[in-house]
């Protein structure tokens, strides 16, 4: 399948669910169908400004899209986006964008490493794999500072219960000790989840520091760069 063309499309703001004090789950409905791939992102357009968010819903969701938006006073643009979404019944989007995608079932096991709201892209990947009936082994490592920041913790737990090929590893970098959750940095814990570094495809979803920590950690174990994927490599390349 070729990469779908990028278009500007209007959408209705269907609902906003506050998952934590600073993370919102936003549901949008496109006015017209847009062909997209699992893992792509969109931009919310506001005049000359564009705000990028991973699409958390798989292609099978059709015109219904889901976003996970972290917002706070330390990020003024995030407050502007939330104000726009809460105050507007309709928004203009530019989509689909991004080359860090899943197309067909791979031959190698998949390792998805998420930091904070990077889980939104992982959610689209996993739900696409489930919808397509893939049987390839899938591991999801989701890291955050606190248990509360694993804002949809029950969802990957449910995936792992229902699908024998799927494993979920929650990781906390803060001081909490929570039963069933690993302590440490998610790139380090993710290394421990791999049985064979010659047989893995790694998708890193999160901030540039986290993604490059993943790249360095896995490269040191012999995983070639062409088997490590992230949108960060395109929009925040290292010097």
State the total domains in the chain.
Answer: 2
- Secondary structure string (H, E, C) spanning the chain: CCCCCCEEEEEEEEEEEEEECCEEEEEEEECCCCCCCECCEEEEEECCEEEEEECCCCHHHCCEEEEEEECECCEHHHHHHHHHHHHCCEEEEEEEECCCCECCCCCCCEEEEEEHHHHHHHHHHHHHHHHCCCCCCEEEEEEECCHHHCCCCHHHHHHHHHCCCEEEEEEECCCCCCCCCEECCHHHHHHHCCCCCCCCEEEEECCHHHHHHHHHHHHHCCCCHHHEECCHHHHCCCC
196 located within any domain: yes
- For 108-137, the pLDDT digits (tens) are 999 999 999 999 999 999 999 999 999 999
- For 199-235, the pLDDT digits (tens) are 999 999 999 999 999 999 999 999 999 999 999 999 9
Which of 72, 97, 122 delimits the end of a domain? 97
| 86 plus 119 within the same structural domain | no
| 199 plus 90 within the same structural domain | no
CATH number of the domain enclosing 70? 2.40.30.10
179 located within any domain: yes
| 11 plus 91 within the same structural domain | yes
Which of 54, 71, 97 delimits the end of a domain? 97
Q: Which domain holds residue 25?
A: 7-97
- For 4-53, the pLDDT digits (tens) are 999 999 999 999 999 999 999 999 999 999 999 999 999 999 999 999 99
CATH number of the domain enclosing 187? 3.40.50.80
| 87 plus 196 within the same structural domain | no
Which of 39, 68, 97 delimits the end of a domain? 97
Q: Global pTM?
A: 0.97
| 140 plus 193 within the same structural domain | yes
| 87 plus 135 within the same structural domain | no
pLDDT, residue 197, reads 97
- For 152-176, the pLDDT digits (tens) are 999 999 999 999 999 999 999 999 9
């Amino acid at each position: 399948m070729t990469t779908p063309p990028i278009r500007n499309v209007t959408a209705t703001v269907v609902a906003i669910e506050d998952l934590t004090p600073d993370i919102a789950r936003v549901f949008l409905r496109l006015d017209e169908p847009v062909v997209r791939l699992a893992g792509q992102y969109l931009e919310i357009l506001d005049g000359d400004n564009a705000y990028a968010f991973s699409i958390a819903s798989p292609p099978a969701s059709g015109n219904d899209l889901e976003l996970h938006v972290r917002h706070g006073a330390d990020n003024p643009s995030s407050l502007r986006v939330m104000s726009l979404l809460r105050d507007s019944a309709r928004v203009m989007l530019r989509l689909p964008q991004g080359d860090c995608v899943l197309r067909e079932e791979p031959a190698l096991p998949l390792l998805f490493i998420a930091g904070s709201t990077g889980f939104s892209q992982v959610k689209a990947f996993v739900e696409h794999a489930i919808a397509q009936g893939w049987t390839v082994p899938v591991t999801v490592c989701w890291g955050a500072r606190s248990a509360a920041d694993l804002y949809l913790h029950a969802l990957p737990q449910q995936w792992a219960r229902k699908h024998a090929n799927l494993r979920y590893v929650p990781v906390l970098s803060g001081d909490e000790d929570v039963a069933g959750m690993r302590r440490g940095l998610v790139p380090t814990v993710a290394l421990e989840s791999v049985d064979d570094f010659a047989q893995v495809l790694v998708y890193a979803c999160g901030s540039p520091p986290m993604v490059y920590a993943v790249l360095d950690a896995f490269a040191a174990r012999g995983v070639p760069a062409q088997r490590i994927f992230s949108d960060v490599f395109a929009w925040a390349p290292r010097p």
